Amino acid sequence: MAIDPKELEFNKNDDEMRLKISRMESELAKIMKGGGDKRIAALHEKGKMTARERIDMLLDANTPRFEVAAFAGMDMYKEHGGCPSAGVVVVIGFVSGKQCIVVANDATVKAGAWFPITGKKNLRAQEIAMENKLPIIYLVDSAGVYLPMQDEIFPDKEHFGRIFRNNAIMSSMGIPQIAAVMGSCVAGGAYLPIMSDESLIVDKTGTIFLAGSYLVKAAIGESIDNETLGGATTHTEISGVCDYKVANDEECLMTIRKMMGQIGASESAGFDRIEAVAPKHELKKVYGILPSERHKPYNVHDILDCIVDEGSVVEYKADYGKTIVCAYARINGWSVGIVANQRELSKNAKGEMQFGGVIYNDSADKSARFIMNCNQKNIPLVFFQDVSGFMVGSKSEHAGIIKDGAKMVNAMANSVVPKFTVVIGNSYGAGNYAMCGKAYDPRLIVGWPTAEVAVMSGASAAKTLLQIEVASLKARGEEITPEREAELYNTIKARYDEQISPYYAASRIWLDAIIDPAKTREFLSIGIEMANHKKAEKAYNVGVIQT
């Protein structure tokens, strides 16, 4: 496809995207400060490193990495002082040449205490480890459950205790787990090191106990200091809880690197990879392609030409079901199957105009068949979402759009090859489901700064909610002037727009990250390499699909 960087529209789109990326980078810079400079300085005075400094020292230099859920907790818990990045840093990266996932408590955020979103993020990290058979390293430095919110983090199935259940399950799966106690490890959290395969503890800064010295005094009247109660010497020489005593953070991290270097090679899922070829267009050309005005059409092939290896695309049923593009391609040498919403207007075989970004009967049918083919061939799937939903109206209903949509969802939901999702624009309603939204277990799901995740667009939702609000007010005898109606509309739309932003989705881990579009290729390559560690556990079977 021809892309002209000199076109006015291209430059306008490019400017808008760069502004959004600039905002994203600014927000990330604030998040990476954790609890702030004063708390970082206080940590350093104790001879400790921050969570991010620990991870940087642990990971191999100049190797690919992906941070999971950096935006988790953004603008949440304001009445409690906030919880940047959910108080825990999670990164997929390489340690001594082995790809793994690292989970590090951020002690600058409420002493590493667990908020509800902290639990959700930790469980997401363990889910990634289990789905991809990745070794997991815990860098523990946490005061335990945040007590003012204990009812939202302690007892339920997806709460704090699920972590230890997952420790046991991962052990039975043969997934290596290493825990390093580099600060506090309190109460229920004290089970984490012993439920991991091996554990380390830093002398004089690491402590493990079910109850600290104050609680011990209150409960049984015993007077004892924390170091004697549960320090490194106690747990490596007396209790045997920990396996290695190390002098400081640096020695701890270097010891983990040595341990990781001795792990044997993992099995492979057998995904095909050849030598990579650069995309047809420079990666940042993608900035100018996606329209800054969401309603405008564009050709998704132009987007793909900035991401996939040049010359690798083989499009499936190119002239049928044109509102979704299905294609075999390669990303950094990896073989992939792509399912992408097409925003260009097109005509079907009957000469009827089809709206871009909408899933029609034929595009749903095509996608289902393509997804099944990729499972037959052991090819990972990549979904590019910019979808407004399924087509509505009598023609679609009479043609069985619900049946064809269900066929697509069934084929996708039962997929045994890994799925990855990139939300580049709209992700609305049932379209989110059919294109592998978070509910359908993508190995990783990310959004561009242009992503929107919601039941419908802000404008559509505001109009619908406005009608309900106006009817309610009129029923109470209130006269609604055009000015009052406009005021109500703007208030409703502003509230809804906040909820459909990518930051709202990422703060709640509906998205694993918001990424620079130019890094999409790198992200997908990291993800597929990660997924290649684990073979499918069952044969592909879609169950009942009505034809």
**What is the reported pLDDT for 443?**
98
> pLDDT for 341-388, tens place per residue?
999 988 888 888 888 899 999 999 999 999 999 999 999 999 999 999
| Rounded distance between C-alpha atoms, residue 31 and residue 389, angstroms | 33
Residues 20-43: what's their mean pLDDT?
96
**What is the reported pLDDT for 352?**
84
**What is the reported pLDDT for 476?**
85
Where residue 36 falls among pLDDT bands split at 50, 70, 90?
A: very high
Judging by beta carbons within 10 Å of its beta carbon (0-12, 13-18, 19+), is residue 95 exposed, middle or buried?
buried
Is residue 24 over pLDDT 80? yes
Average pLDDT, the chain: 92
Residues 58-63: what's their mean pLDDT?
97
Residues 60-75: what's their mean pLDDT?
97
SS3 247: coil
> pLDDT for 266-315, tens place per residue?
889 999 999 999 999 999 999 999 999 888 999 999 999 999 999 999 99
Residues 451-464: what's their mean pLDDT?
80
**What is the reported pLDDT for 543?**
75
**What is the reported pLDDT for 173?**
95
What is the Cα gyration radius of the chain? Answer: 25
Residues 102-119: what's their mean pLDDT?
94
CA 79 remoteness from chain centre: 26
Is residue 467 over pLDDT 90? no
> pLDDT for 305-344, tens place per residue?
999 999 999 999 999 999 999 999 999 999 999 999 999 9
- 199, 272, 288: which is closest to 236 by C-alpha? 199
- 364, 365, 347: which is closest to 356 by C-alpha? 347
Q: What pTM was computed for the model?
A: 0.93
Where residue 152 falls among pLDDT bands split at 50, 70, 90?
A: confident
- 438, 340, 320: which is closest to 381 by C-alpha? 340
Is residue 1 over pLDDT 70? no
> pLDDT for 200-235, tens place per residue?
999 999 999 888 888 888 889 989 988 999 899 999
- Look up residue 533 and give its amino acid: H
Quickly count helices (H) and strands (E) in the chain. 19, 20
**What is the reported pLDDT for 234?**
94
**DSSP letter assigned to residue 305:** T
**DSSP letter assigned to residue 234:** I
Handedness of CA 495, 500, 505, 506 (dihedral sign): negative
- Cα-Cα-Cα-Cα dihedral of 271, 272, 276, 281, to 10°? -80
Specify the residue for token string 């009967």.
Answer: 361
- 207, 229, 222, 228: which is closest to 140 by C-alpha? 207
Specify the residue for token string 């002098």.
Answer: 247
> pLDDT for 432-442, tens place per residue?
999 999 999 99
Which tokens go with 353? Answer: 């105009």
**What is the reported pLDDT for 547?**
60
Share in percent of the chain as helix, strand, coil (round to 5): 45, 20, 35
Contacts of 93 (CB under 8 A, 6+ apart): 55, 59, 60, 63, 64, 65, 66, 99, 100, 102
Where residue 160 falls among pLDDT bands split at 50, 70, 90?
A: confident
**What is the reported pLDDT for 546?**
60
